[in-house]
Amino acid sequence: MLGELLPLMTDFARWLPADYWDLSIPVYLFFAAVAGGAYITGASACYIRARRESGPCCLESEIARWGFMTAVASAAIAGLAVLSHLAVISRAVLFPIYLTNFSSWITIGTWILVLLAVFSVICLLLQLFGEQAAEESGASLWPRVIFAKLGLLELADRLVDAVRPPMAVFAALHVVGSILALATIYTGFELAIVETVPLWNMSVVLPMAFLTSGIAAGVGVTLAITMLFEREIGPVFGGYAVVVSIFSALSLVFIAYGWQEIATSDAPAAAASHAELTSGALYVGVWLVALGFLLSVVAGLAIGIAALTDRLSDRAERLGGPALIGSFGLLFVSALILRVLLLLAAEQNPVVVAL
């Protein structure tokens, strides 16, 4: 295994100093999609809480707060990755002035990511502060402790209550935010439009693989964080676990279809990319991606369905928590590695010049 990993490290060392593609690109593509999945988790938890008329300190509130918190953090990481990649930072900060070509997925994607980050921050603040939040408890309320130490908690509660929208507006906020979350499919289109790279130029497969894996990773990491503090696996938790398994399975389907397309393509660059992925160091990454998604499918379905049908024994519940945390954590890593592999194995078709 070590002998296979050392060439992989060499590949990274060779690849990272590239003038255009570096590690910031897959990090950006990954965390933008994770932000979408985490936002959907938070918004859906708010909806479930309202439908079930759950009281204070319910699990849905914890999932919602961790979901929005993960969305904010992921959007911030994606934004920083983009900024670290750009030569002129001011153009990114002033993107409403400079990015006006709405036929470009780079422009569209920037607007989607920024708006999703804004919606995530608004929803997080509404969950963390105000009279209702003051009556609740849970590990996800840790920012309130910081505000209290700074002497700003009462002010924050008053301000949030003063601007808190009615339920109809609150629901509309979640709907629009969820649409933006699904729009993170643009991360796949940014690569799929490159016609000279067969590994990327799959207009349906790649965007759908990026979307489904991003949602699976976003929901999964939110559940894993929540599970670290809330060990009880109830029906709500089971439902989310099944969702992660479904999106992980869909990701495997799209990845397998794309793999078949590359394997059977006549393009020289496609054959070169396939050879890179089936031999040498990158092959380890391919197996790790497959293992991460497959384990999340198995663990999510087995534990999730048992929790939904109230057939989870005490022993299974004790083991189920670590199993979900481990499998969803590996899923998170595998979804990032998927994007890294797509850049490492990318080969361009030779350009034919007519004389």
Q: What is the pLDDT of residue 5?
A: 40
Q: In this structure, is residue 350 part of a structural domain?
A: no
180 residue type, one letter: L
pLDDT band for position 106 (50/70/90)?
Answer: confident
Query: Which residues neighbour 205 within 8 Å (Cβ) at sequence distance 6 or greater?
Result: 254, 257, 258, 261
Q: 252, 345, 342, 339: which is closest to 301 by C-alpha?
A: 252
Residues 88-105: tens digit of each pLDDT: 555 556 555 555 665 676
The CATH number covering residue 322 comes to: 1.20.1630.10
Q: In this structure, is residue 210 part of a structural domain?
A: yes
Q: What is the pLDDT of residue 11?
A: 46
User: CB–CB of 256/213 below 8 Å?
Assistant: no
Q: What is the pLDDT of residue 34?
A: 97
Indicate if the pLDDT at residue 10 is higher than 50. no
Residues 254-298: tens digit of each pLDDT: 999 999 999 999 899 999 999 989 987 788 999 999 999 999 999
Q: In this structure, is residue 122 part of a structural domain?
A: yes
Q: Which domain holds residue 309?
A: 2-344
Q: Which residue has the higher pLDDT, 1 or 176?
A: 176
- Our CA dihedral for 246, 252, 258, 264, rounded to 10 degrees, sits at -130
Residues 220-232: tens digit of each pLDDT: 999 999 999 987 7
Indicate if the pLDDT at residue 207 is higher than 50. yes
Q: What average pLDDT does this structure show over 157-177?
A: 92
Residues 297-329: tens digit of each pLDDT: 999 999 999 988 888 777 777 788 899 999 999
Q: In this structure, is residue 349 part of a structural domain?
A: no
Indicate if the pLDDT at residue 14 is higher than 80. no
Q: In this structure, is residue 229 part of a structural domain?
A: yes
The model carries a pTM of 0.89
Q: In this structure, is residue 354 part of a structural domain?
A: no
Q: How many domains does the chain have?
A: 1
Q: What is the pLDDT of residue 55?
A: 67
Q: Which residue has the higher pLDDT, 5 or 194?
A: 194
- Angle at 180 (CA atoms; ends 44, 199), nearest 5 degrees: 110
Q: In this structure, is residue 355 part of a structural domain?
A: no
